Structure 1
Amino acid sequence: MADAEVKNKTESNLPKQTPVNPQLSAEAESKSVTEDRASPTSDEQITRAKQNGEKWGWRFWTIIGSLCITSLLTAIESTVTSTALPSIANTLNSRELYVWFVNSIFLSSAVVQPLFGQLADVFGRRWPCIFTVAMFALGSGIAGGANSAAMLIIGRVFQGIGLGGVNCLLDMIVCDLVPMRKRGAIMGVIFAVFSAGSSIGPFVGGVLVDRVSWRWVFYIGLPVAGAALVLLVMFLHVEYEKTTSVPQKLKRLDYTGNLLLVLAMVSILIALTYGGTLRPWSSWRTIVPLVLGFLGMVAFHVYEASGIQREPVMPPRLFKNRSSFLAFILVFLHGMILYWVIYFLPVYFQSVLLSSPTRSGVQLLPTLIIVVPFGILAGGLTTATGKYKPFLIIGFALQTLGVGLFSMLDSSSSTALWAVFQIICAAGIGMVSTTILTACQVELPESDVATSTATWGFLRSLGSIWGIAIPAAVFNNRFAELSVMIEDEALRLSLQNGAAYEKASAAFINSLPEPVRSQTIATYTGALKQVWQIAIAFSALGFLVAWGVRSVEMRKTLETDYGLKEKEGKENGGEGNKA
């Protein structure tokens, strides 16, 4: 699958007489674990050569269109629900469970992505992609009909399983159809559609909560999922290996590795969720799951590297070159900062500026809109110049500046101020969004597209989990410390143990008499200030790590077993692919 004729060029500090090909060991290992696959026929090789052409036919663009519509599922989840969560938490009286409305979907999304990477290699891209959209629809229906916090969390888990597959499979399919040098532009098209949906998401979420019902925050995903299913069934016809029987294919899956990963992630997240809120950080109930979780992660990586599993779900070879290793760290940090911003700016708008959910959604638009042009710009320039490292450095620099400026916001901040601060941070987020996958894959062979994309998706989702859990813990702890300034003891006690987030709404705060209302707003402001100060450290770390990523020449050709499916007897308008 990897193009043996293409050799990546590293920076000039490497000895010239040494053949620079960091893919050799990875390619050899990839060949050894896939020897049971049928060897490509000469017709398949011809197909691959055609797919390296400059033009794409109508079938290519129908697939890209289908992927664009499917990407709206992620847009809906990541933005429509963010402004509605405080109201949902209050309606269902969730108290400390509110964080699981977010963490459940990110946990389930993260842990299934490596598995979907394997499923895509074993069963192809088409049916796993269709399955994930169906799972999202099922979860949306359950969450929309929830009458308790537990039922809502179950629905969110199903949504997360669907989104986990969607997030990695969309990019995986693009990698199968487009050479690396040209991927930035095509991913920019999908990103533009995703961001368009994201830009109206908070507004739609706020309107649904204010004017209809919070349940429609979830029901709105059903027609989008239905449209995506129809398009994928009609147009997503790509190649995959069909000669191996289903039992043989199932034997290739890494069941032990996936189980270790799930158990470790659940254990860590339990500790992060309740540490410092319901339980002190020094409590054995916090320490034990945290230690078990980290030990589980160590056991997972030891097992993956042991050679016991013939095809590990997260092969160690992905991290053996410096650029890929550092790029995967950046993926984690980028996912963290993105959701740190998306989920805690609405808290500022609603608890400090006293905005309604609808207005809060509108106030978040600078972040969501500005991401689009900068993401498209970075993707296009990466395609045109072959350079991706500068956008990582500039992107994290802007993110660091942006979250630092957020710490200056208070109840007297002007519209211009918080809008400009968002624009700065969003520009950095956009630049990294469309270039980071390239940095992860540029020194890996094409045969690792599925596993590297799935690992990229897993680390991004893992970062999202920490990007919710860490600021939530910081916010709750700091709010508890500052709540002494609230004179009303009954109110002060009612805002402990996670209840401060639940009650972060204009309706609640406006119901308080003075001077208690001003004291409560000041407490929210102080807690949020520390949330943003902690964010500076993580974003600055990303800026430093980005300098260590190597600048490597991107491949201009493509070799894959999962390209457009051939149909005999028809030509695709003479544009290089059979129809």
Structure 2
Amino acid sequence: MNTKRPFVLAAVMLGMFMAAVEATIVATAMPSIVSDLGGFSLFSWVFSSYLLMQVVMIPIYGKLSDMFGRKIIFCIGISIFLVGSFLCGLSTTIEFLILSRFIQGIGAGAVQPIATTIVGDIYTKEERAKIQGYLASVWGISSVMGPVLGGIFVAVAHWKWVFWVNIPFGIIAMIGVIIFLHEEVEKQTKKIDYIGSGLLLVTVSALMIVFIQGGVYWSWTSPQIISLMLLVVVAFFLFLYQEKRAEDPVMSLSIWRHKLIATANVASLTLGAMLIGVSSFLPTYVQIVLDQPAVIAGFTLTMVSIGWPISSTLAGRWIITKGTWKTAMYGGVSILIGSILFLTLSIVQHPLWAGAGSFFLGAGMGFSTTTFIVSIQSTVSWRLRGVATASNMFMRLLGSALGVAMLGGILNTRMKQYLEGVMEGEDFTIKPSLDVVNLLLDPIGREQFTVRERELIEEGLTSSLNSVYVGVFILALISFFLIINLPKNESNDLDK
């Protein structure tokens, strides 16, 4: 095989960064987008549509890569992603933007898991541990750089370039893989499980709608929410039934019978929820509760991207010398320490404390995610490696998609309850609602409130955000328990 590995690695890392950063780069540009296109009530769908299609497509692409090879599926995914990016920049309505983000997500579902699988193919286990650490750090870096890059594009150009900047990078990534990756694929005729794919789409879509709409637009006991939950349950069990009987299932349930894979995948779900929760809500906490400027808020979150690559690099070395279980445990302990720091942030109330929590969270993510991927890829044969890798990426993204909805629901519910209580005893000049938080973040909007009103709203937001960190701590405990229960000795070449 004449594959030039450094060039392939650079190409797949570029593709991974492009897809990962797109989940967050839009955040800073959204005020400009909404001012141009309108549709503030559809704000959250710009993010959730992208994550939703990524979650649904990851296991499908993992299967296709095992059938037809990594190169062609990787390039197809990037091509779809770039089409969606181009259309996003052309959007003249918020509805068209959301549709374009769906297309982006369909393509992004191929980029990250296939990139990780390519690395698993071209490097040995000893080399793979180190290289997977580099790939894992892409997640932490992108989660921090995304909002910064979005702000720069809005300031010096136009929000459309938030999407169009992907095009040259995507083309370079495709060229690198096409030219430098050479793989031998055993051509096989297999059936694609369209029924399973459709049921997976219905299940995840309905669940996402429940978390996005529930408690905000529809009450939790409304006919809409109850009907959607019934749909989730029915579609999920039909999906499991279909996967058991399908000749070539979308997600091989056999790999879930292996304790290491099942445990690592569930842990990736909770870790993904933790990461997106901190990334989404920490800047708001630092700016409003700690009364610090946006630069300081960015610093506290940047610490995630410092801890992640350091621990990923160490994990790559320690997996060989100390073993996978011990290396993963370093991650579990770090995550627990980070969550405790966030939980006690209401007592210490200092940005350095928040930054320390971010650092330990990033370190924990680096240790654990690197260990998960290396262990899983060493456990299965080549034939199942794409599906197994994709299943882990799928669970982490599913955790992110559901985590931001669940923790956001906690924040909105607690804030709504607080404001309703305030209305009984205070005479507000502006009607208390969740929109007052947006005004509070705006330097001009803040002037519309009296000093007393600002204090009350900040108090409510502090209490609500502390509830979010209680949720983060619970997720950390679950993750720690799962990591403890990882098998200490994994077998190789599972091919059943």
CA contact 1:135–1:159 (8 Å) conserved in 2 = yes
Query: Does 1:283 pair with 2:222?
Result: yes
Query: Does 1:397 pair with 2:336?
Result: no
Provide the residue aligned with 2:99 in structure 1: 154
Provide the residue aligned with 1:296 in structure 2: 235
Provide the residue aligned with 1:219 in structure 2: 164
Shift of 1:545: 1.4
CA contact 1:485–1:523 (8 Å) conserved in 2 = no
C-alpha distance in structure 2 between counterparts of 1:490 and 1:95, whole Å: 23
2:323 to 373, 387, 394: 387
Query: Does 1:165 pair with 2:104?
Result: no
**AA of the residue aligned to 1:365:** T
Shift of 1:294: 2.1
Secondary structure at 1:81 match in 2 = helix
Query: Does 1:63 pair with 2:8?
Result: yes
C-alpha distance in structure 2 between counterparts of 1:540 and 1:170, whole Å: 30
Provide the residue aligned with 1:455 in structure 2: 391
Deviations for 1:1-32, whole angstroms, at most 9, x for unmatched residues?
A: xxxxxxxxxxxxxxxxxxxxxxxxxxxxxxxx
C-alpha distance in structure 1 between counterparts of 2:247 and 2:18, whole Å: 34
C-alpha distance in structure 2 between counterparts of 1:116 and 1:411, whole Å: 46
Query: Does 1:415 pair with 2:351?
Result: yes
C-alpha distance in structure 1 between counterparts of 2:159 and 2:285, whole Å: 20
C-alpha distance in structure 1 between counterparts of 2:329 and 2:32, whole Å: 38
**AA of the residue aligned to 1:460:** R
CA contact 1:82–1:342 (8 Å) conserved in 2 = no
Deviations for 1:354-375, whole angstroms, at most 9, x for unmatched residues?
A: 5666664444211222211112
**AA of the residue aligned to 1:284:** P
C-alpha distance in structure 2 between counterparts of 1:178 and 1:215, whole Å: 38
2:402 to 455, 466, 471: 466
C-alpha distance in structure 1 between counterparts of 2:120 and 2:404, whole Å: 29
Cα RMSD, aligned residues only: 2.8
Secondary structure at 1:551 match in 2 = coil
Provide the residue aligned with 1:233 in structure 2: 178
Provide the residue aligned with 1:435 in structure 2: 371
Distance 1:349 1:161, change over 3 A: farther
Distance 1:266 1:78, change over 3 A: closer
Deviations for 1:88-129, whole angstroms, at most 9, x for unmatched residues?
A: 557655444222222111110011111111211222111110
**AA of the residue aligned to 1:545:** L
CA contact 1:340–1:468 (8 Å) conserved in 2 = yes
Bigger shift: residues 161-170 or 198-207: 198-207
Provide the residue aligned with 2:57 in structure 1: 112
**AA of the residue aligned to 2:477:** A
Distance 1:501 1:333, change over 3 A: farther
Q: Which runs of 5+ in 2 are unaligned?
A: none
2:257 to 303, 320, 325: 320
Deviations for 1:483-502, whole angstroms, at most 9, x for unmatched residues?
A: 13364646344x34xx4665
Distance 1:237 1:446, change over 3 A: closer
C-alpha distance in structure 1 between counterparts of 2:460 and 2:5, whole Å: 54
Secondary structure at 1:364 match in 2 = helix
Distance 1:339 1:450, change over 3 A: same
C-alpha distance in structure 2 between counterparts of 1:329 and 1:150, whole Å: 34
C-alpha distance in structure 2 between counterparts of 1:143 and 1:503, whole Å: 27
Shift of 1:469: 0.7
C-alpha distance in structure 2 between counterparts of 1:170 and 1:420, whole Å: 31
Deviations for 1:418-468, whole angstroms, at most 9, x for unmatched residues?
A: 222221222112211211123434443332101111211221111111111
Bigger shift: residues 158-167 or 79-88: 79-88
Deviations for 1:543-568, whole angstroms, at most 9, x for unmatched residues?
A: 1111111122576xx999xxxxxxxx
Provide the residue aligned with 1:202 in structure 2: 147
C-alpha distance in structure 2 between counterparts of 1:319 and 1:89, whole Å: 43
**AA of the residue aligned to 2:398:** L
Deviations for 1:496-530, whole angstroms, at most 9, x for unmatched residues?
A: 4xx46655634365333322222222222221111
Percent identity among equivalent residues?
25
CA contact 1:199–1:369 (8 Å) conserved in 2 = no
Secondary structure at 1:434 match in 2 = helix
Secondary structure at 1:543 match in 2 = helix
Q: Which runs of 5+ in 1 are unaligned?
A: 1-46, 48-56, 561-579
Deviations for 1:34-76, whole angstroms, at most 9, x for unmatched residues?
A: xxxxxxxxxxxxx6xxxxxxxxx77122211211222221342
Superposition TM-score, scaled by structure 1 size: 0.78
Instruction: Please give the residue correspondences for 1:238-257 in structure 2 after superposition, counting only pairs within 5 Å.
Output: 238-242=183-187, 249=189, 252-257=191-196
1:337 to 271, 274, 287: 274
Secondary structure at 1:170 match in 2 = helix
Deviations for 1:122-142, whole angstroms, at most 9, x for unmatched residues?
A: 221111101111222222222
Query: Does 1:446 pair with 2:391?
Result: no
Secondary structure at 1:491 match in 2 = coil
Provide the residue aligned with 1:545 in structure 2: 482
**AA of the residue aligned to 2:162:** V
Distance 1:284 1:209, change over 3 A: same
- Give the paired residue count: 491
Superposition TM-score, scaled by structure 2 size: 0.90
Deviations for 1:324-380, whole angstroms, at most 9, x for unmatched residues?
A: 221111121121112111112133234435566666444421122221111221122
CA contact 2:196–2:242 (8 Å) conserved in 1 = yes
